[in-house]
Structure formats: C-alpha cells, structure tokens
C-alpha cells in the first residue's frame, strides 16, 4: 500500500519540491536588510567560494587581535590600554558589534575616514600646483563635515560634482575667503588640472569602478570601452576652462565656466562628440541646466550597477587589504570579481540602505570573513582572493603617526603630555617628519615593503627617539622607575601600549632576563627603553594584521 501511494504521488511531490524554492526566490522582492543580516549573507557567499575551492579558513581572531585591527581600520589608531582592558573583560557575546557601533559614533571614525576619502579624491602630490597641500586641507575640512553628518555616499559625490569648480568668492576679510563647498570643488578639479579628460578619467575610476583612461588616445584591444565612449563622458565636463584657472588662483573671481556645454572635440581629431552615459544611454538635458547634474543623477540612480559596486569594492579593499575586484578600478574580462554574487548583493543592500557608509562598515566587520586571524594555518589560505585568512596591511602615514604618539601616551597618565605628544601630530615637527617619510606608501595596502629612508625614520627619527628616550619620555621613565611593578609587569605595560597584547611565554622568559641583566649598558632602565624601541620597529606594530 505504501509503495503504491509513493509511486502515485512521488512525481507530483518532486515537482512541488523543485518549484517551491524557485517560486519563493522569484517572489521575494529586494528588501533592506539590517547590517548583521547582510553580514550573514556575506559569509554565505564567502563560504560557498571556500567550499568550491576546498579551502580551509584560518582560526577566528582572538579579542585582542580583533580590537587592534578594527581600531586601526575604523578610527585610525591602535587602542588605548584602558580600551584593551575594558574590551577583554566584557563577557557580552555581541561585544564586537557593540564596539564597532561605538567607534562609528566617535570623532576618530570621522577623522580617519576623512583621510581615507581625501587620499582617494585628492591624491598626495597632485600635479605641479604649489597650492596642492592647501587644496588637500580644504577637501579634508569639507569631508569632515559630510562624514560627521553621516551624509549618504550618493550625496557626497553629487555635491562634489555639481558645485562651482572655480570657487565662489563670497567674502573678503583681510584677503580672499572661499565658501567651504567651493573649496572642495577647487581641490577636486585642481587635482585633475581642470581638464575635462582628466576629470572624466578620475570620475570613471573612483565612482564607477572603470579605468577608462586607457581609451583616451585609441581603442584598446583588451578594453571593452572605446575611445569615443571616453570622450563622451569627458563631454560632461567640457565647460571647464583650464587655461583660465590661474586667474582664479590669483584671487580673480572667474565666472567663465559654462555648465550647459555638452560637447567636446576628441583630442587630436576634428571629430566632436556629445555627452553620453557610459552604459550607452543618451541623457535628457534641460535647457540651461548643469550637465554635470544629469551625470550625477545617472551615476547615483538605484539601478546604476557601476556606482554602488565601486563604493562597496573600495570599502572592502580598505577592510580586507584587497578588493573583490583587484586592482579596484580595473574590472575586465581578464580581471573579474572574485565573488561576483557577493559584490552584487552588498551593492544592492547599499542602495536599499540609502548609501549609508556606516551600514556597510557594520556589515563587513561583523562578518566571519573579517574576523579571521592573520596567521596562516593551511596551504589553501595562500590564495588572497579567497579571503581565507586576514591579509597583512601596511599602515597609512596618519595611522602610523597616531599610533606611535598614542603608544607613548598609553604608558601612563599624562605620559603623552610629558613627552610632548598627544595632539596626533598637530604642530609636532617630529610627527610631521615621520608622516612625510611615509607619504608615498603603496596604494595597495598588502604591499607594505618599507624603503630604506622609511626604515631609518622609524629606527632613528625624532619621533621614535623621543618615544624611547628616558629623558624626553616621562611616561617611559615612570614605568622604568615604578617601584610597585616587577620586570614582567613593566614589560607587559610596554607590550599593551604598542602591540595591544601581553607577552607570550617565550617572550617573557627572554625579555625579563634581558632587562634584569641591563642589556649591553648593564642599565635596566635603558634595557627597557631598548624593548620599547624594538616594539615600535617590529612588524607587529607597523602592520595591521
């Protein structure tokens, strides 16, 4: 009886079983997920890729490793000793999520990501303009306001692209004063020499994730975009007049920008092309309207597959060391995304959550993929595009300077003030010197080779010398002379202040013996300073891991 029943109904049951999931998938509309639901989706895509490659992920990072990593990534510095103690003592199962949410409400997040976005929008050493440093500072001030207000990424890009590129000189008070919005645009456009073709290449690379400049002079056999498409995008910026920018820089208000112009001559030819979107669609312009606003509307539209994907990929590269498409601005058939479904899903949720940068950061840092240890434990983890282990990342100049200064302040109350630190490099010549040495660090964070000059700056520079001096670092001297601390406790204080952890047993036995023996000078205080110098120059300190 049972067998006859099964034979009669089995075909229908099989059909229902096959149809139900497909119907549910088709019927489910896109809906906004909270960041932790998105983190689960991130991990589902990530694990599927690992399983397909038969790769074994590394172990979960312990709390101390996670705290240091996320502190550097979000607020741009190592954690303070009190933050380490509080976090390690917290028994809450969701303490990592709470930590990230707390950091995103701090000024440190705004300060750090202002630098992150500034360096993308206005790279160091932009052209030959003598005002490049001033322009970068102006861009930084504007970005600080935007990030403090948690403006949507679409709003930030729109405001950047559609304001007066030559500045609106509204006040004169002992000299020329430019409105903050106009300062931003001057910086961005000046970084690209106010040339339509340069601006188009930068806009395409940063905001659309497409490296288009290869098609500027000719059709490239391996590029899906043509020379004509490059100049059609450049036509949106054809109202710029590079030859007259110098007037504006000398304080002469320039009103010659034509926001309605939408055609451009292809360089080296007599051919004129009209502004056209990169996806081939023809824009609809209003009489007298700014053509850049039309471009911004298209770029930030929810159905634009370029814009959200590019932003997601840049943020992923920041937190994971390399992008899902890597290099981040070179998508092509030869450089496909490592996790295409993951990139698409994150981009879709970014749009549904109103381009909220904090939302994406919460989701990425809550994922199991982000919380892996950086210690390689299996050969299958060696392929970086599987994200089976956290990649080692070089510190940006500001991260390094902030962390060296804070390491001194970590040693004791008032230590940073006694040593002349604590202002994160503002007005500190030693900090300025170190930052300049690392100003040309690699854009690819996983390529962290240190040059000879950078190594010498860390070993012998003024900032390191002050931090390890028993006469100039009151905090270090206070630790060395503390009568209530034994040698192991003093060393653990140095380790917590610099690499955010206590000594391991093998380190304890060696270093306690070294300090109590006084080192080469037979002076235990100087030996303790030697350990501090060693920690500041260690790979563990100068890398994010």
For 166-215, the pLDDT digits (tens) are 655 444 334 444 455 555 677 888 888 888 999 999 999 999 988 876 54
Backbone angles phi, psi at 274, to 5 degrees: -95, 155
Residue 368 lies in a domain: no
pLDDT value of position 456: 58
Which residues, other chains included, contact 178 with Cβ-Cβ below 8 Å and sequence gap of 6+? 138, 167, 168, 169, 170, 186
Residue 155 lies in a domain: yes
- Which residues span the domain enclosing 279? 109-300
Residue 150 confidence (pLDDT) above 80: yes
User: Are residues 425 and 293 both part of a single domain?
Assistant: no
Looking at the predicted structure, is the pLDDT value of residue 218 above 80?
no
What would the two tokens of residue 117 be?
Answer: 């976005």
Whether 255 and 138 map to the same domain: the answer is yes
Q: 116-130, 226-240, 405-419: which has the highest mean pLDDT? A: 226-240
Closest-CA residue to 322 (of 398, 392, 400, 397): 392
295 lies in the same domain as 400? no
Name the pLDDT band for 163 (thresholds 50, 70, 90). Answer: confident
Least confident of 1-15, 366-380, 517-531: 1-15
pLDDT tens digit string along 45-57? 999 999 999 999 9
The per-residue pLDDT for 438 is 59
Dihedral sign (CA 438, 440, 445, 447): negative
Q: What is the pLDDT of residue 5?
A: 40
Mean pLDDT to the nearest integer, 447-460: 59
Residue 491 has pLDDT above 60, yes or no: yes
> Does residue 85 form part of some domain?
no
Tens-place pLDDT, residues 249-267: 454 544 557 888 999 988 8
Q: How confident is the model at residue 528 (pLDDT cuts 50, 70, 90)?
A: very high
Residue 263: its H or E element: strand 263-265
Counting residues of the chain whose pLDDT is more than 70, the rounded percentage is 73
What pLDDT digit, counting tens, does each position of 369-425 carry?
A: 999 999 999 999 999 999 999 999 988 888 888 888 888 765 543 333 333 333 344
The Cα 392–Cα 374 span in angstroms is: 7
Contacts of 376 (CB under 8 A, 6+ apart): 58, 382, 389
Here the CATH number for the domain that contains residue 431 is: 1.10.3130
Pair (159, 273) in one structural domain: yes
Q: Look at residue 104 and tell me if it is in a domain.
A: no
Per-residue confidence (pLDDT) for residue 446, from 0 to 100? 63
The whole-number pLDDT of residue 226 equals: 79
Residues in the chain: 545
**Of all residues in the chain, what percent carry a pLDDT higher than 90?**
50
345 within some domain: no
> Distance between CA atoms of 476 and 351, rounded to whole angstroms?
49
Q: Quickly state the pLDDT bin for 447 (edges 50, 70, 90).
A: low
Selection from 203, 192, 189, 207 nearest residue 232 by Cα: 203
**Whole-number pLDDT of residue 179:** 54
Q: Is 264 helix (H, G, I), strand (E, B) or coil?
A: strand
Categorize the per-residue pLDDT at 464 as very low, low, confident or very high, splitting at 50, 70 and 90. confident
Under the banding of pLDDT at 50, 70 and 90, the label for residue 41 is: very high
Whole-angstrom distance, CA of residue 113 vs CA of residue 108: 8
As for how many domains the chain has, the answer is 2
113 and 261 part of one domain: yes
Give the domain-ending residue among 300, 315, 346: 300
What residues contact residue 466 under an 8 Å CB cut-off, 6+ apart? 408, 419, 420, 421, 430, 472, 473
| Alpha-carbon span 437 to 457, nearest angstrom | 7
Name the domain boundary from 276, 300, 324. Answer: 300
Determine the pLDDT at residue 297.
Answer: 95
Residue 278 sits in the same domain as residue 415: no
CB 349 within 8 A of CB 367: no
Question: How many other CB atoms are found less than 10 A from the CB of residue 232?
Answer: 25
In a domain, 147, yes or no: yes
Phi then psi dihedrals of residue 286, to 5 deg:
-95, 145
In this structure, is residue 324 part of a structural domain? Answer: no
Mark which of 270, 300, 330 sits at the end of a domain: 300
- What pLDDT is attached to residue 135? 66
What is the pLDDT, as a whole number, of residue 412?
45
Cβ-Cβ contacts under 8 Å for 421 (sequence gap 6 or more): 405, 406, 408, 409, 428, 431, 466, 467
pLDDT, residue 422, reads 34
Q: How far is CA 60 from the centre of its chain?
A: 22
Tokens 């270090």 sit on residue: 476
Residues 6+ apart with CB under 8 A from 465: 430, 472
Residue 30 inside a domain? The answer is: no
Cα-based distances in Å from 453 to 390, 438, 456? 28, 9, 5
pLDDT recorded at residue 397: 82
pLDDT the model gives residue 12? 43
Beta strands in 373-500 (DSSP E): 393-394
β-sheet bridge partners, residue 176: 172
In this structure, of 3-17, 152-166, 194-208, 518-532, the range with the lowest mean pLDDT score is 3-17
Q: Are residues 284 and 418 in the same domain?
A: no
Quick check: 544 pLDDT over 60?
yes
Please determine, for residue 152, whether its predicted confidence score (pLDDT) is greater than 70: yes
Q: Where are the beta strands (DSSP E) in 151-252?
A: 171-172, 176-177
Structure tokens at 334: 């030869």
If asked whether residues 409 and 277 sit together in one domain, one would say no
Distance between CA 187 and CA 136 in Å, rounded?
Answer: 6
57-111 pLDDT, tens digit per residue, is: 999 999 999 999 999 999 999 999 999 999 999 999 999 999 999 999 999 999 9
Task: Please choose, from the candidates 163, 167, 130, the residue with its C-alpha nearest in 3D space to the C-alpha of residue 254.
Answer: 167
Average pLDDT of the chain to the nearest whole number: 80
């Amino acid at each position: 009886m049972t067998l006859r029943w099964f034979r009669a109904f089995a075909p229908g049951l099989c059909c229902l079983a096959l149809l139900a999931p497909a119907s549910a998938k088709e019927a489910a509309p896109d809906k906004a997920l909270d960041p932790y639901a998105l983190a689960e989706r991130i991990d589902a895509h990530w694990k599927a890729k690992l399983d397909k490659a038969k790769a074994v992920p590394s172990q979960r990072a312990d709390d101390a490793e996670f705290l240091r990593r996320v502190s550097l990534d979000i607020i741009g510095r190592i954690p303070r000793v009190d933050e380490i103690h509080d976090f390690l003592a917290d028994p809450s199962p969701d303490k990592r999520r709470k930590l990230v949410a707390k950091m995103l409400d701090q000024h440190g997040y705004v300060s750090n990501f202002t630098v992150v976005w500034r360096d993308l929008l206005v790279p160091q050493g932009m052209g030959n303009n003598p005002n490049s440093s001033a322009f970068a500072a102006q861009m930084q001030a504007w970005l600080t306001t935007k990030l403090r207000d948690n403006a949507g990424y679409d709003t930030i890009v729109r405001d950047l692209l559609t304001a007066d590129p030559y500045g609106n000189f509204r006040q004169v008070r002992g000299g020329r004063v430019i409105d903050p919005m106009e300062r931003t645009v001057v910086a961005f456009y000046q970084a690209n020499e106010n040339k339509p073709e340069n601006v188009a290449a930068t806009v395409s690379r940063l905001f659309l994730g497409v490296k288009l400049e290869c098609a500027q002079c000719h059709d490239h056999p391996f590029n899906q975009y043509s020379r004509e498409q490059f100049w059609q995008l450049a036509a949106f910026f054809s109202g710029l007049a590079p030859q007259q920018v110098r007037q504006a820089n000398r304080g002469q208000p320039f009103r010659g920008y034509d926001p309605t112009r939408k055609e451009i001559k292809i360089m080296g030819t007599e051919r004129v092309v009209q502004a056209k979107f990169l996806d081939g669609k023809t824009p609809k312009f209003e009489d007298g309207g700014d053509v850049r606003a039309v471009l911004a509307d298209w770029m930030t539209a929810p159905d634009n597959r370029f814009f959200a994907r590019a932003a997601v990929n840049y943020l992923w590269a920041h937190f994971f060391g390399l992008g899902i498409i890597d290099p981040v601005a070179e998508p092509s058939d030869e450089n496909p995304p490592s996790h295409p479904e993951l990139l698409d899903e994150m981009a879709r949720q970014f749009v549904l959550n109103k381009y909220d940068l904090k939302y994406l950061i919460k989701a990425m840092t809550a994922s199991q993929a982000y919380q892996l240890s950086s210690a390689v434990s299996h050969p299958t983890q060696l392929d970086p595009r599987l994200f089976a282990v956290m990649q080692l990342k070089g510190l940006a100049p500001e991260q390094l300077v902030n962390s060296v200064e804070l390491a001194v302040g970590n040693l004791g109350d008032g230590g940073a003030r006694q040593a002349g630190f604590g202002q994160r490099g503002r007005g500190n010549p030693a900090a300025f010197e170190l930052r300049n040495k690392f100003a040309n660090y690699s854009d690819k964070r996983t390529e962290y080779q240190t040059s000879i000059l950078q190594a010498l700056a860390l070993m012998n520079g003024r900032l390191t010398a002050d931090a390890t001096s028993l006469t100039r670092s009151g905090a270090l001297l206070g630790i060395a002379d503390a009568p209530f601390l034994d040698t192991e406790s003093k060393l653990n204080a140095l380790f917590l202040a610099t690499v955010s952890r206590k000594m391991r047993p093998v380190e304890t036995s060696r270093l306690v013996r070294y300090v109590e023996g006084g080192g080469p000078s037979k002076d235990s205080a100087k030996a303790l300073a030697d350990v501090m110098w060693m920690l500041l120059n260690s790979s563990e300190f100068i890398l994010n891991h």
